[in-house]
């Protein structure tokens, strides 16, 4: 029987699981982001990287993926507070998120200081360059200089940072006009820096997946069938408001379908991921993450290690997989 009442602590466990899970996957994958699978195995053994690589202080560093995710959250929360938790329209929240990204840009290019509307700017360790994506940097520098962003990038730098919109929507779903408005916000938030429709659609889908995994997890354990249903339902919804490129949508749908089918097959993890791509672009990164979640839906650690051990953008695929599996299993399921 499904629950009718959920406690705040239940919601918080899955929300924290998603946010911290993304940082976990990011930090594990960051150490091997620019290594091929053969190089990873040569250094770490046939299973690939399975434990953190730490700095001289014993800390596993996360990359710009988690930095920008935190600034996405900061922008959204500033919007929500200013609007007294009223219904949030995507166009209302977008300037707040853009301002937060401009503050993030300063953490990559300037000396530490307290920035307006940014409690994150007080955290000294966030003033660190962690291999920031050049598309994000160039686009935000254009905005800072009053220029229009013109690119056709579908790199994963848009999708890897929008999970907080799904997390927030999962627990505060009354703050959106409807559940899909926050997904649309995920798409246009990615468009701040990445103008290709594939990035927009993948980001909207990712936000929806995170939200629905949180809402489902506090109800009943999420199964592989539930994930398939969540993906299918949200693809249909995205298709209903996608007016820009049917080709990009079909590409996204086909790749997500392929990822789910591969997860149900007996194909080895690394071989299956190679069929999906390397994760440098938005839809491939989401597909690799979805495959990893589906293949290892009951095991946080196995999911993350699957998501980062491949030839491509390991920190981004690890972060996205961590956001999703964390939303499914919760913070308490993350190994200490």
pLDDT digit string, tens, across residues 232-286 = 999 998 888 766 688 899 999 999 999 999 999 999 999 999 999 999 999 999 9
Tokens, residue 117: 């509307």
Instruction: Give me the numbers of helices (H) and strands (E) for the chain, helices first please.
Output: 14, 0
pLDDT digit string, tens, across residues 150-191 = 999 999 999 999 999 999 887 666 566 666 788 899 999 999
Instruction: Please give the radius of gyration of the chain, using alpha carbons only, rounded to the nearest integer.
Output: 18
User: Which has more confidence, 58 or 10?
Assistant: 58
Provide the pLDDT for residue 286.
98
pLDDT digit string, tens, across residues 26-40 = 999 999 999 999 999
User: Taking the C-alpha atoms of 164, 323, 12 and 302 in order, what is their torsion angle to the nearest 10 degrees?
Assistant: -170
CA distance 34 to 130: 13
Predicted structure pTM score: 0.95
Please list the residues that pair with 155 across neighbouring strands.
Answer: 281
Provide the pLDDT for residue 169.
80
Tokens, residue 55: 């700095």
Task: Annotate 80-149 with three-state secondary structure.
Answer: HHHCCCCCECHHHHHHHHHHHHHHHHHHHHCCCCCCCCCCHHHCHHHCCCCCCCHHHHHHHHHHHCCCCC
CA distance 260 to 52: 28
Provide the pLDDT for residue 2.
41
CA distance 202 to 284: 9
In 3D space, the residue among 230, 96, 115, 217 whose CA is nearest the CA of residue 165 turns out to be 96
In 3D space, the residue among 273, 296, 269 whose CA is nearest the CA of residue 286 turns out to be 273
Look at the block and give the residue holding tokens 């959920």. Answer: 6
């Amino acid at each position: 029987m499904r629950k009718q009442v959920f406690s705040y602590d239940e919601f918080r466990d899955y929300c924290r699981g998603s946010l911290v899970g993304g940082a976990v996957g990011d930090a594990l994958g960051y150490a091997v982001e620019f290594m091929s699978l053969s190089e990873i195995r040569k250094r770490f053994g046939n299973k690939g990287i399975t434990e953190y690589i730490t700095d001289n202080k014993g800390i596993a560093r996360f990359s710009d993926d988690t930095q920008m995710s935190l600034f996405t959250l900061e922008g959204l929360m500033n919007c929500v507070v200013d609007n007294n938790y009223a219904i949030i329209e995507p166009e209302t929240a977008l300037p707040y998120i853009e301002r937060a990204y401009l503050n993030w840009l300063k953490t990559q290019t300037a000396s530490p200081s307290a920035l307006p509307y940014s409690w994150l700017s007080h955290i000294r360790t966030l003033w660190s360059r962690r291999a920031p994506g050049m598309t994000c940097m160039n686009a935000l520098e254009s905005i800072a200089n009053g220029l229009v962003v013109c690119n056709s990038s579908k790199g994963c730098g848009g999708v890897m940072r929008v999970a907080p919109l799904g997390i927030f929507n999962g627990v505060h779903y009354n703050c959106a006009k409807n559940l899909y408005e926050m997904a649309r916000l995920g798409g246009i938030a990615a468009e701040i820096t990445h103008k290709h429709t594939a990035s927009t659609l993948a980001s909207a889908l990712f936000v929806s997946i995170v939200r629905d995994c949180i809402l489902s997890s506090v109800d009943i354990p999420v199964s592989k069938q539930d994930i398939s249903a969540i993906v299918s339902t949200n693809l249909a919804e995205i298709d209903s408001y996608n007016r820009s490129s049917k080709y990009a949508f079909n590409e996204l749908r086909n790749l997500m379908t392929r990822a789910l089918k591969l997860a149900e097959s007996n194909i080895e993890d690394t071989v299956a991921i190679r069929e999906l791509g390397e994760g440098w672009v938005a839809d491939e990164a989401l597909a690799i993450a979805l495959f990893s979640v589906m293949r290892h839906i009951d095991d946080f650690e196995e999911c993350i290690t699957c998501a980062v051990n491949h030839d491509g953008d390991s920190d981004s695929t690890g972060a996205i997989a961590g956001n999703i599996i964390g939303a499914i299993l919760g913070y308490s399921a993350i190994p200490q």
